[in-house]
Amino acid sequence: MRTLICLEPGVLKSSTANMPEPKDGNAILRINRIGICGTDIHAFEGTQPYFSYPRVLGHELSAEVVSVSVNSGFIAGDVVTVIPYKNCGTCIACRNGKENCCVQMQVYGVHADGGMAEFFQVPERLLVHGQGLNHDELALVEPLAIGAHAVRRAGLVPREFVLVNGAGPIGLAVMTYAKIAGCKVIAADVNPYRLEFCRDKVGTEYLVNPADGDMETKLQHITSGDMPTVIFDATGNKQAIESSFSYMAHGGRYVLVGLQKGNIEVNHPEFHKREGTLLSSRNATRQDFEQVISSIQQKLIDPTVFITHRADFYDTDDNLQLYLTKEKNLIKTLLCL
């Protein structure tokens, strides 16, 4: 079978591998769609934490079940998506129902080889029934679940002002679920195309470009003198993360969804006087996946609006590598098998 392997930063190559051999408790899937996400792009760039090479990328998946155990709750031919976070089940996080931040976490496509392959084997417990969604929709469930989880972590209250830094797929997912929660969403990005995308495809009420300067004045104008009570970072950019502490209202919450490699610096007195709450949001849970699927079924969200590019899984390596670069008008690429 064909696979796509990131051999080292900047090098993606097609290869061949043996078909996975069935193991007890595991399902073999025929992959249909693979979403390219920021993690894949960062891995290709060489800036992704928790990463080693070579690695088969890919964790935003839709697939068809090829083989599965009799009592798994699935049958051959079922259309599914995958929770790509393999947890240990025994650590303190897992025992407390936080499998998404397992101490021994193995994320497919990051810590273990992922789904950029014709066939893929995963534990049956990580399968999620497609429930009538098509392959395009199912490939977008995982990134949307990241946003849904971050919003749930923040405990949003209707009508509060929420600033989302970064209008890539994860930022857009956060905006979407913040709007569903009834909040007034401010989108911030230095890319004008992405800000227009927020307005046209997500219906974001307020748009700001930090590159234009004087963010505090802009935010105060939007909120009639206050600052946002909740800030989400979906940039993974050290400068953006650090500067945004000063945009948080007194008593506010700051949720780090994006990830960068180094330390972050905080002005302690400024953060302390706000009695701020700093949260991180990692991965997502089955509850979040189910919420996303329900949202799509109820027509609260159309995930296909995020798809701006498609690529053939069997295209040349050089062409496929273009989709792992930060092209300014790219939101989400799907690899199609």
Q: What is the pLDDT of residue 58?
A: 97
Structure token digits, residue 37: 């996400």
Q: What is the pLDDT of residue 213?
A: 87
Residue for token pair 């899937």: 29
Q: What is the pLDDT of residues 179-220, one digit of tens each?
A: 999 999 999 999 999 999 999 999 999 999 999 989 999 999
pLDDT > 80? residue 328: no
pLDDT > 90? residue 310: yes
Verdict on whether the full-model pTM lies above 0.85: yes
Burial class of residue 237, CB neighbours in 10 A (0-12, 13-18, 19+): middle
Q: To 10 degrees, the CA torsion angle through 192, 194, 200, 201?
A: 180
pLDDT > 90? residue 326: no
pLDDT > 90? residue 47: no
Average pLDDT of every residue of the chain: 96
Q: Count the alpha carbons within 13 Å of 297 in the hemisphere toward its beta carbon.
A: 11
Domains in the chain, CATH or no CATH each: 2-139+302-336 (3.90.180.10), 148-280 (3.40.50.720)
Of 107, 148, 109, nearest to 285 by C-alpha is 148
Cβ atoms of 117 and 17 closer than 8 Å: yes
Q: What is the pLDDT of residue 327?
A: 73
Mean pLDDT of 37-61: 91
Q: What is the pLDDT of residue 137?
A: 98
Cα–Cα distance between 263 and 313 in angstroms, integer?
37
Of 72, 133, 126, 100, nearest to 294 by C-alpha is 133
Q: List Cα–Cα distances, 156 to 213, 231, 253, in angstroms.
A: 28, 11, 10
Cβ atoms of 325 and 302 closer than 8 Å: no
Q: What is the pLDDT of residue 186?
A: 98
Cα–Cα distance between 170 and 235 in angstroms, integer?
9
